[in-house]
Amino acid sequence: NAGVMQNPRHLVRRRGQEARLRCSPMKGHSHVYWYRQLPEEGLKFMVYLQKENIIDESGMPKERFSAEFPKEGPSILRIQQVVRGDSAAYFCASSEAAAQYFGPGTRLLVL
């Protein structure tokens, strides 16, 4: 049973470009969460999704960021017009009950 998968593992973008981060949950999990981690900090919640629904986006910046979890395929976190401050590690987690299991993360570097 494969764990949570994220790709790409590393992503470099120039300011103003778009970043697309993908997350495939563990088999049998229908709940997906995205978190952001800045250097030397803990993880900060961004958004919680179920298939085709955003359940909680209280941690998501109002502009440039969007997330989806379509009926088929992985969950996508999209960051438009990236800025240097978006450089961070973005982690996806999935769950079917209380325990959340994390993927390896995508490290985004904005030049």
> Residue 90 interacts with another protein (CB under 8 A)?
no
Nearer to another protein, 17 or 31 (CB): 31
Residues 5-24 that bind another protein (CB under 8 A): none
* Among 19-27, 62-70, 72-80, 102-110, the segment contacting another protein (CB under 8 A): 102-110
| Distances, alpha carbon 25 to alpha carbons 13, 28, 86, in Å | 25, 8, 23
CB of residue 89 to another protein, shortest distance in Å: 8
Q: What character string, x for contact with another protein (CB under 8 A) and - otherwise, covers 28-67?
A: ---x-x-x----xxxxxx--x------xx-xx--------
CB of residue 57 to another protein, shortest distance in Å: 10
CB of residue 101 to another protein, shortest distance in Å: 6
Give the 3-state secondary structure of 38-83: CCCCCEEEEEEEECCEEEECCCCCCCCEEEECCCCCCEEEEECCCC
Structure tokens at 77: 């976190």
> Residue 25 interacts with another protein (CB under 8 A)?
no
| Distances, alpha carbon 97 to alpha carbons 6, 10, 29, 84, 94, in Å | 21, 29, 9, 36, 9
